[in-house]
Chains A and B, each alone.
Chain A
Amino acid sequence: MTAPTMTSRSPTSTQRSSPRSLSTARSTSSTSTAAAAPAEDLKSFDAEFVKVDRATLFDLILAANYLNIKGLLDLTCQTVADMIKDNTPEEIRKIFNIKNDFTPEEEAEVRKENQWAFE
């Protein structure tokens, strides 16, 4: 597999996650010599593959984007999307350590929206 032209940032995270990413690419792309793995096996492989801590998951997303591995990017982005679901804005901020940077007026707007949405 040839590496694409380097255009994305954070090569460090790519270096950390590249071996894991490349092994995934090999196992899922080598169809020329072996039969395709059953869908269920691939699904459980994917589920196990993303059972990592959030920092590694972050690195995997960047690596998948940098190496242009669509399947891995889809898998990791969907994993993060699943982590977001069923949480309030404050809970999401805690999970991802994101700062609340709304002005007081924006915060009031957000609070009213969520009060209605969670009604």
Chain B
Amino acid sequence: MSFRSMVREMKGEVDAIARRRPLPSARGVRRVAAVATEEEAARQGCCWAELPPELLREVLARVEASEPRWPRRRDVVACAGVCRTWRGVVREIVRVPEVSGRLTFPISLKQPGPRDAPIKCFIRRHRATQTYFLYIGLTDALADTGKFLFAARKYHRPTCTEYLISLDKTDMSKGSQTCVGKLRSNFLRTKFTVYDAHPPHAGPVVSKRWPAGDYPVIQINYEVNVLGSRGPRRMNCIMESIPVSAIEQGGTAPTQTAFPFFNPKSSRMDSSITPLSSQVESKLVLKNKSPRWHEHLRCWCLNFHGRVTVASVKNFQLVASDESAPANEENDDTTLQFGKIGKDLFTLDYRYPVSAFQAFAICLSSFDTKLARE
């Protein structure tokens, strides 16, 4: 006999007794019914913690598969916050953006993008507050309400400018727990360094020169071309933390797995980070594709595949190339693309081996470089 039918029978008997003669204490009857109701309510939920792991995985895999895009993708993050068991299952199911093409947890913003189709984002600039916000598109439109990814604020220093990059759009202050890195320019604003607040490599700190939480990961250089300010500028990005082998057959790029400043005791990055010995390899260099002069339109043109609609000296496409060999700009796939689509509105598309954080930082330098002329 099921528990529910027992409760029903018990209630029926109590009601029958109550109908035959009034009970000295009606509260006693109500207490029995209330206990039965509470037990029934408890039974409604009490067993779910005992769901076998394989069945829990079936359920959570369905949640993950049915919500590939934001904002509904937050359901996957919510599942990982229920309890330790659910968190373990969700983290097994969710794959890195390189494989799945999806951004899920905040750490996925520090992981290389997908190898095939790029992740399409956009940046909103707020001139009054000197802040920049990176969003991932919710639809296939160039820009929509978007899902917030990163925020950056520009700080003017005596000898440079700095952009602090944060996961919290309301807190972009130095020393904040949500600060994930920064971009710093030289005095002339022709060279920039991107610093990661999180060590990109496992093992001991690469160099004791760097303060804790400041790991240089990209060196960006801007140069005028032979035409001076009348021609498109040249830029290259030396990716300190990504070896050239990352873009070769079977190569991999460093992939962080946790933010230590979210949980200082968390150190789940060792197994998936490039070992120290590989840092002697050649570093990957990204170079911008040279636009072609369009005689009829009298302007420099690049094929942005419809993702950039306003001409601007800030627009660029970066391709990965071996530092020792010139980039084959005809055939190389674009790794990072940035360009204007409206007033204070820009698209940003990135692919493997670059992460959202690296892409955003590189694009911020495009706003700041003194070679920009609009």
Interface residues of A (CB under 8 A from B): 8-9, 16, 53-55, 58, 61-62, 65, 73, 77-78, 80-81, 84-89, 92-102, 105-106, 108-119
Residues of chain A within 8 A (CB-CB) of B280 are none
Residues of chain A within 8 A (CB-CB) of B58 are 73, 77
Q: In the complex, which of the residues A53, A54, A78, A87 contacts B62, with contact meaning CB atoms closer than 8 Å? A: A78
Q: In the complex, which of the residues A9, A55, A96, A105 contacts B49, with contact meaning CB atoms closer than 8 Å? A: A96
> Which residue of A is nearest B167, CB measured?
A116
- List 18 A-B pairs, Cβ < 8 Å: A58-B47, A65-B54, A77-B58, A84-B78, A88-B78, A89-B78, A89-B82, A101-B83, A106-B87, A106-B263, A108-B263, A109-B259, A112-B178, A113-B81, A116-B106, A116-B148, A116-B168, A117-B78
CB of B55 within 8 A of CB of A77, answer yes
Interface residues of B (CB under 8 A from A): 2, 42-49, 51-52, 54-55, 58-60, 62-63, 66-67, 72-75, 77-84, 86-87, 105-106, 147-148, 167-169, 177-178, 259, 262-266
Residues of chain A within 8 A (CB-CB) of B52 are 8-9, 62, 65
Shortest Cβ distance from residue B353 to the other chain A in the assembled complex, whole angstroms? 24
Shortest Cβ distance from residue A37 to the other chain B in the assembled complex, whole angstroms? 24
Known A-B contacts A105-B265, A108-B263, A113-B262; the reply to A77 vs B81 at CB < 8 A is no
> Which residue of B is nearest A61, CB measured?
B55
A100 to B151, CA, bound (A): 31
Shortest Cβ distance from residue B221 to the other chain A in the assembled complex, whole angstroms? 32
CB of A96 within 8 A of CB of B264, answer no
CB of B262 within 8 A of CB of A108, answer yes
A82 to B62, CA, bound (A): 9
CB of A93 within 8 A of CB of B82, answer yes
Q: In the complex, which of the residues A87, A89, A106, A119 contacts B84, with contact meaning CB atoms closer than 8 Å? A: A106
Shortest Cβ distance from residue B86 to the other chain A in the assembled complex, whole angstroms? 8
A65 to B58, CA, bound (A): 11
A113 to B55, CA, bound (A): 25
Would you list the 5 A-B pairs with minimal beta carbon distance, nearest first?
A97-B45, A89-B81, A96-B48, A117-B77, A81-B62
A99 to B148, CA, bound (A): 30
> Which residue of A is nearest B45, CB measured?
A97
Shortest Cβ distance from residue A34 to the other chain B in the assembled complex, whole angstroms? 31
CB of B49 within 8 A of CB of A109, answer no
A92 to B60, CA, bound (A): 12
Q: In the complex, which of the residues B42, B59, B264 contacts A84, with contact meaning CB atoms closer than 8 Å? A: B59
Given contacts A89-B81, A96-B49, A114-B81, 11 further A-B contacts (CB under 8 A): A55-B47, A58-B47, A77-B58, A85-B72, A89-B79, A106-B84, A110-B87, A112-B262, A115-B168, A117-B78, A119-B148
A85 to B73, CA, bound (A): 10
> Which residue of A is nearest B58, CB measured?
A77
CB of B55 within 8 A of CB of A62, answer yes
CB of A16 within 8 A of CB of B265, answer no
Q: In the complex, which of the residues A54, A84, A86 contacts B44, with contact meaning CB atoms closer than 8 Å? A: A54
A106 to B86, CA, bound (A): 13
A80 to B66, CA, bound (A): 13
Residues of chain A within 8 A (CB-CB) of B177 are 112
Known A-B contacts A54-B44, A116-B106; the reply to A102 vs B84 at CB < 8 A is yes
Q: In the complex, which of the residues A65, A93, A119 contacts B55, with contact meaning CB atoms closer than 8 Å? A: A65
A61 to B54, CA, bound (A): 11
CB of B44 within 8 A of CB of A105, answer no
> Which residue of A is nearest B75, CB measured?
A85
CB of A98 within 8 A of CB of B169, answer no
Residues of chain B within 8 A (CB-CB) of A117 are 73-74, 77-78, 106
Shortest Cβ distance from residue B263 to the other chain A in the assembled complex, whole angstroms? 4
A109 to B80, CA, bound (A): 11
Q: In the complex, which of the residues B62, B82, B147 contacts A98, with contact meaning CB atoms closer than 8 Å? A: B82
CB of B83 within 8 A of CB of A99, answer yes
Residues of chain A within 8 A (CB-CB) of B43 are 55
Shortest Cβ distance from residue A39 to the other chain B in the assembled complex, whole angstroms? 20
